[in-house]
Amino acid sequence: MSTLVDLREEVTDLVQRLVRVDTTNPPGNETAAAELLREYLEASGIDNCELIARTPERANLVARIPGGDGPSLLFLGHTDVVLADPAEWSVPPFSGELRDGMVWGRGAIDMKSQVAANAVAFASLAREGFKPSGDLIFAATADEENGTGFGLEWLCEAHPDVVRCDFSINEGGGDRVELEDGRAIYQATVAEKMTAPFRILVKGRSGHASMPRIADNALVNATRLIDRIADYRPEPQLGPEVEGFMQAVFGEVPPAAEVVERAAPLSPVAAVVLDALLGPTFSPTMISASQKRNVIPALCAVEVDCRLMPGQHPEDVEPTIRAVLGEDVDYELEWVEGAHGGTRSPLDTPLWRALEEWVAETEPGAIAAPLACVGFTDSHWLREAFGTVAYGFFPTTGELPPEVAAGLVHSADERIPVSDLEAGVSWLRHAAHAILS
């Protein structure tokens, strides 16, 4: 049987090799990472692994340790990463450098670290002759960052049987947050908000910029609407995830209006997340107007990043948005790109109990606390297609504080402590034994 020291070295090496494969999306080129993982798994004696691709250069890898007729468990992760500008980095972003006990490079956190831990946990169980009661599945998928139909969404539609599962472990949670009173909590995401972006087309009348009074400047009109969106605060509402978090941390659930105030003294980081989970959020992020400096624009487009509560839909909040914008500015509102996410999984499940057990065994006195993800992940495809119980949980050790780690995702100098990799492998192996033994 492999020791944790052996597995720590194994997962560190695999993360480094994965980071060195440039899978920037677009264009992706995830096949190179999938082939690396297949070679690694086959070296551990795993023959049941295949590359499944909509186009040859964008392959998904799916491997399986077949089991009986018990529940199935999927280790899920994506191999694509976002753009990295080398000029902003302290090390080459695809070097996979090991420095100060951390692996550096694009994807070190999001999420080649978890992909590697998934693979090492999966392979080490296979080497030990693990006989699961149901299938243990490992999927390293393409195209999560752009979501243009080459990854898990496509697999669920075109090859559902290869990823169909009862339980899944994915990204989106696991931060270890130390409270001001000395307690530690491990946050696990069991739901996610829906992304539902919209565009406001603000109208005016064009004219020569040298005579401002001759026109009706759509850009100036748009600033009034932007201010109203920025100033809006929805009536706070409690969802089951926030209720579960407050119950775990405080032993009670306060009124929604008191949640942030109660949480802030214990953890400013958690308070910021909780604030975003108490209602829909609307963040103006992009604006476009005149294409010439000397032309006052007749039309100004404002893009708004909108995140809805699990279970909410665009038609539920559009009346609220229009009320916030008011009626004194001429505009059109259109929903763009479609809405995704907004799903949740229950807490009363064997997977949640396994998570609580791992936390209790790893750090006595620590608490496993549920939350929703303020963004969304590929987990929603599984929930929608198969009713999968899907959690985001890749535990951290706190060596890299969560507020620092959060600032490194999609940013320069992305890196992850080796201790986090070891904790991740430990959790995944525990989950497999708890669910499938």
The SS3 assignment for 116 reads helix
Active-site choice (97, 110, 135, 144): 144
**In sequence order, which residues have a C-beta less than 8 Å from that of residue 83 and are 6 or more positions away?**
24
Clarify whether 144 is annotated catalytic. yes
Task: Strands of 159-224 (E only): list them.
Answer: 167-170, 176-178, 184-192, 194-195, 198-203, 207-208
Active-site choice (80, 166, 192, 422): 80
How far is Cα 269 from Cα 261, in angstroms, rounded to an integer? 12
**In sequence order, which residues have a C-beta less than 8 Å from that of residue 404 and are 6 or more positions away?**
none
The SS3 assignment for 271 reads helix
How far is Cα 149 from Cα 142, in angstroms, rounded to an integer? 9
Number of H helices, E strands in the chain: 14, 20
**Which residue type occupies 63?**
A
If you search the block for the tokens 């040859």, which residue do you land on?
A: 56
Clarify whether 80 is annotated catalytic. yes
Among 57, 176, 200, 73, CA closest to 125: 73
Active site residues: 80, 144
